[in-house]
Structure formats: C-alpha cells, structure tokens
Amino acid sequence: MQNVEAINLRNIKQEPKTNYLTNGFTLKSWLLTKDHKRIAILYLITVSAFFALGGVYASFIRLELLTPNSDLLQSATYNRVFTQHGIIMVFFFLIPAIPAILGDFLIPLMIGAKDLAFPKINLLSWYFYMAGGGLTLYALLQGGVDTGWTFYTPYSTTFSNSYVMAVGLGIFINGFSSILTGLNFIVTIHTMRAPGMTWFRLPLFVWAHYATSLVMILGTPVIAITILLLALERIAKVGIFDPAIGGDPILFQHLFWFYSHPAVYIMILPGMGVISELISNFSRKKIFGYEFIAFSSIAIAVFGFLVWGHHMFVSGQSLYAGLVFSFLTMVVAVPSAIKIFNWTATLYKGSISYDTPMLYALFFIGLFLIGGLTGLFLGSIGLTVHLTDTYFIVAHFHYVMVGGQVLAYLGGLHYWWSKITGKMYSEFWSKIAAIIIFVGFNLTFFPQFILGYMGMPRRYAAYPPELQVLNIFSTAGASILAIGLIIPLIYFTYSIFFGEKAPANPWLLPGLEWRTASPPPTENFEETPIVTWEAYDFTEDSGLDLEDARNKYKVTV
C-alpha cells in the first residue's frame, strides 16, 4: 500500500492538519458531537457490543442443541436465551448496523455534503438507541423475557411472567432512532447533494439507503403502535388481542408483521447497496443496469409492505388471503433476482481485483442466492404449510440476515475501514477470516434446512434423538463461525494502533468519499466538490489521474 500512497498524493491536494478524529479528545467532544462521522463511530462501538452480546446468546443456543435433551439449559432459560438473541440481533444489531454506522458516515461524504441535514437530530437518534438498548439490557439483567422476539399474543400479554413491558418499551424507544435516521437521510439526499450530483449520479449505496429510509419512516410507527396496544392489554387489561377478554390474537400478528416484514428489507436493502458499491468498484467499471438496480430497491421497499401475510399462512387466515400473499411474495422475488443478474453482468469484462471486500461480495452473492431461493420454498403456500415454524425457516432467514446483511456489513466495514480510521488492516488475516466465516456459516445453517424438512420445530430446547447428527454439524459450524468473527475484532483493533497509515484513495476509485483525506476532516471536504462524472466512472472523465497512477505503480513495483 505504500506504493499507492505515493500515487495518491497527486489526487489529494494536501493532508488536512486535523481530521474528524483529532478534532477534540474529551469525552464531551464525543458525546455531544454533531459530526455525522463521530456519531457513526459511537454507533460502531455500541452496535458491535450488542452484536457480541447477541453472539454470546447464539453460542448458548447452539451448545444446548448439541444434545437432544434440554440439559445445559433448562427450558425456562433456553426460552429466554433464544428470545434475547432474536431481540438484540434484530432490533439492536441488524436494523441499525449498516444504516446507522456506514450510512451515517458515508452518505454525506458520497453526496458531497458537510453533514446530514439535521446533525442534532442525528445525535438524538443515537441517544434514543442507547436509551432503548439500555432499557432492554436492564430487563435482561432483571430476568429477561421469554416471549420470542415476535411477542405473539396472548402469551405475551396474559401468560408470560417475564419483563415484557421493559423490553417492549426499549424497542419502542429504539424505534424513534430508526424513524429519525430515516428522516434525516431522506432530507439529506433530497437537499444536500453537491452541485452536479444528480439523482442518477448517486452511488447505489445512497439509493439503497433512500429506499430503506422510506421503509423506516412508514413502517416503524406501526410497531410502536403495536407495542402500545400490547402494553394497554398487559397493564390495563383492555381486550385487544386476548380472546378471553374480547380481543383477537391474529390482529396482533397482522400488526406485528406489517412492520416486521418490511423491517426485513430495512435489514437487507442497505446490504445490497454495499454490494453494488463493492462489485462495481472492484471490477473497476460502471455497474451494469444502474437504473434497474436503483429502482429494484424502490420496488422491494414498496412490495415489501404488501407481503406481511406470508408469515401467517398457517394462522387460520382464509384460503384467498393465503393465495394472494403467496402470489405477492413471488412477485417481490423478482427485483432481488434482477440485482443478482446485474451484479453478475457487471463483472463481465471488468478488471477484477481480489481484495477482501470483493471476497465478501462474492460470498454475499452465494449466500444470498441460497437465502433468496429458499424464500421461494417458503412463499410457495403448499410447501410452507410443512416448512413454516421449523428449522427450515430459521436457516432461511439466517442465510438472508447473516449471509446477506452481516457479510455485506463486514465487506463494507473492510472497504471503508481506511476511510473511517485512516489505517489499513491486515490483508492476509482479513482474507483468512472471510473464508472461515463463509465455511463456518454454511456448516452452521445448511444442515438446518434438512432439519426443518425433517420437521424439527423452531424454539425447541429438546428434540428427537434421530436429529442429533445434523445438530452436531450445526454446532460445530457455529464454533467455526465464532472464530471467524473474533479474528476481525483483533486485526481491526490492532490496525487502529499499529496499522499502516492509509492513503486517501487506496484503490484509486472515483467515488466522492475517496476524494478527501483518510480520515476526512470534520467538514468532510476542503471545498465543495463539483460533480461532472457519472457514478462508477473509471475513465479519465472522472478527473482521476489514472494514466499517471498506472505508470507510477509500474515504477514503484
């Protein structure tokens, strides 16, 4: 990388005297910051802590399932462990991970703005996240919650003797973090693009976040209302969901999934945005079918609101409702397929380098293919009667959420790590870790498809002995996956203190975020950039001195 540094100097005027990291060292300068980049760092630290906690719960789940009997954990504990794994991973890791960390950091940089439209609201979002997360942690320490992350009624309102309301309130408060972040992104993308940065010059990462923000704003209030209704029934005994006092338990499922299905797209759309960046930039050519990828994100966001009923195929909903939701589910598969085809076509006649982020992109496509295709199994209503509520569905959503979103997040984190910290990580260890994660992930979750078809129900602390072999595979895979996830923690931390200094633009890419120092100054750009090139433009039009860089590279090698 030292070679690249020499080359880079031509494209960057000069190193700024202070960057956003060195602009103030007090705790106050962090906790009261209005800088989107510092807020992203706050999210990075806290979201990672929640990810680790969720991972600890996951480890206990897999250890318990090593044997058919409920021996390591009794049912009461096991039920809390899987519930808390789900709640923490969904609400406090998957939903904020890419938007709040990478989105917060990069959207202003990518569109050539100094900050988000509402810097104070951005900070407020983080405090909502912390308040919600803190309340949830408090509930977990008090004894936890055992309703499953889905909070199905009437169990959650009438029967559960756990801390449902504290966790519910935690999620309720955390929801405002999502809403405000989404609002901030939408206003920023509309109003703060640099001169020349037209809508169709936006990086696809920004398009994906625009679609995600729409879902955050429109969907999150519904879960907030649902939690309020749940509280009304649990505390004040107003009959809304419990039929014993005049309610309807299915109503809860409609309300819950009306948010929680679109929430799945909050989790995956930003990941797709990251992958579009990686594929295009590491092939060093314009992405294939830019408009189709951009609008497929919007299509996913819109159709995502129309398919919630596919979570309720066996809940007693009518034949016709089932058929309509099955049909719409098939339709929503198409935009995802379009993305995969366009990514593949982008590679054609590219100049592909095998850097770690690209490795993650490759693994993402493989795992997302399996995750998406098994979604068709579950959308096909005749098949899903057998498959739903089994390990097949557990495997499916982990392929999408972990194989998709987490790999995209890790790929993005590696890709922008030099920009965020100004340091380079170990290329060797990062590749090793990526491969370990890929292998461990597949070994963990692929056997669960078979377990599901065998009929093993989810949320079981004990299972029939004939299913043990597959469960042993899964637990073994989880151990490998855990190792693969710990390695990046080590080399990322190492790189902050001992890593090589990163150049402004290590891969010589055209995106605006690469046209400022690493790490960027507090105001992002020394002067407002004027955009005259299309997205992913690797020709001389982009203003990068590519010819010169190539020649210098040859000399320094």
Residues 94-153 that bind another protein (CB under 8 A): 146-148, 150, 152
Closest distance to another protein from the beta carbon of 167 (Å) = 16
CA distance 171 to 177: 10
Closest distance to another protein from the beta carbon of 306 (Å) = 15
- Residue 485, CA atoms < 13 Å, CB-side half-sphere: 23
Asked if residue 385 binds another protein (CB under 8 A), the reply is yes
Among the candidate windows 28-36, 103-111, 213-221, 457-465, which touches another protein by CB under 8 A? 457-465
Closest distance to another protein from the beta carbon of 125 (Å) = 32
Q: How far is CA 524 from the centre of its chain?
A: 25
For residue 353, the one-letter residue type is S
Q: Which is nearer to another protein, 37 or 515 (CB)?
A: 515
Closest distance to another protein from the beta carbon of 482 (Å) = 24
Closest distance to another protein from the beta carbon of 241 (Å) = 10
Q: Select the residue interacting with another protein from 464, 490, 530, 532 (CB under 8 A).
A: 464
Asked if residue 66 binds another protein (CB under 8 A), the reply is no
User: SS3 for 5?
Assistant: helix
Asked if residue 476 binds another protein (CB under 8 A), the reply is no
Residue with tokens 């994906």: 208
Q: What is the DSSP letter of 520?
A: P
Asked if residue 285 binds another protein (CB under 8 A), the reply is yes
Task: Determine contact, residues 121/183, Cβ cutoff 8 Å.
Answer: yes
Q: Which is nearer to another protein, 43 or 252 (CB)?
A: 252
Q: Select the residue interacting with another protein from 19, 48, 59, 70 (CB under 8 A).
A: 70
Among the candidate windows 109-117, 188-196, 205-213, 462-470, which touches another protein by CB under 8 A? 462-470
Q: Select the residue interacting with another protein from 232, 340, 432, 476 (CB under 8 A).
A: 340
CA distance 73 to 59: 12
Asked if residue 377 binds another protein (CB under 8 A), the reply is yes
Tokens of 187: 């206003």
Closest distance to another protein from the beta carbon of 92 (Å) = 21
Asked if residue 63 binds another protein (CB under 8 A), the reply is no
Residue 64 CB contacts under 8 Å (≥ 6 apart), including other chains? 70, 71, 72, 73, 78, 81, 461
* CA angle (347 as vertex; 343, 350 as ends), nearest 5: 145
Question: Closest Cα partner for 397 from 75, 66, 85, 176?
Answer: 85
Residues 247-266 that bind another protein (CB under 8 A): 248-250
Q: Select the residue interacting with another protein from 302, 462, 476, 496 (CB under 8 A).
A: 462
Asked if residue 533 binds another protein (CB under 8 A), the reply is no
Q: Which is nearer to another protein, 124 or 450 (CB)?
A: 450
Residues 184-213 that bind another protein (CB under 8 A): none
Burial class (CB in 10 A: 0-12, 13-18, 19+), 33: buried
Residue 474 CB contacts under 8 Å (≥ 6 apart), including other chains? 62, 65, 443, 444, 445, 447, 448, 451
Closest distance to another protein from the beta carbon of 535 (Å) = 11
Q: Which is nearer to another protein, 328 or 485 (CB)?
A: 328
* Residue 307-326 contact track with another protein, rule CB under 8 A, x = bound: -------xxx--x--xx--x
Q: Select the residue interacting with another protein from 31, 45, 228, 331 (CB under 8 A).
A: 331
Closest distance to another protein from the beta carbon of 550 (Å) = 5
Asked if residue 366 binds another protein (CB under 8 A), the reply is yes
Tokens of 30: 């962090």
Task: Determine contact, residues 238/157, Cβ cutoff 8 Å.
Answer: no
Task: Determine contact, residues 405/97, Cβ cutoff 8 Å.
Answer: yes
Residues 491-520 that bind another protein (CB under 8 A): 508
* Residue 149-188 contact track with another protein, rule CB under 8 A, x = bound: -x-x-xx--xxx----------------------------
Residues 399-438 that bind another protein (CB under 8 A): none
Residue 500 backbone dihedrals phi, psi, to 5 degrees: -65, 145
Question: Closest Cα partner for 252 from 225, 217, 220?
Answer: 225
Asked if residue 290 binds another protein (CB under 8 A), the reply is yes
* CA angle (196 as vertex; 193, 200 as ends), nearest 5: 75
Asked if residue 58 binds another protein (CB under 8 A), the reply is no
The beta strands (E) that lie in 150-273 are given as: none
Tokens of 84: 């808390």
Among the candidate windows 44-52, 121-129, 245-253, 263-271, which touches another protein by CB under 8 A? 245-253
Tokens of 289: 């079918």
* Residue 1-40 contact track with another protein, rule CB under 8 A, x = bound: ----------------------------------------
Beta bridge mates, 500: 424
Asked if residue 380 binds another protein (CB under 8 A), the reply is yes
CA distance 334 to 313: 21
Question: Closest Cα partner for 109 from 40, 48, 42, 177?
Answer: 40
Closest distance to another protein from the beta carbon of 456 (Å) = 8
Question: Closest Cα partner for 180 from 134, 127, 255?
Answer: 127
Asked if residue 284 binds another protein (CB under 8 A), the reply is yes
Q: Select the residue interacting with another protein from 181, 212, 283, 426 (CB under 8 A).
A: 283
Closest distance to another protein from the beta carbon of 342 (Å) = 8
Q: Are strands 500-501 and 423-424 parallel, antiparallel or unpaired?
A: antiparallel
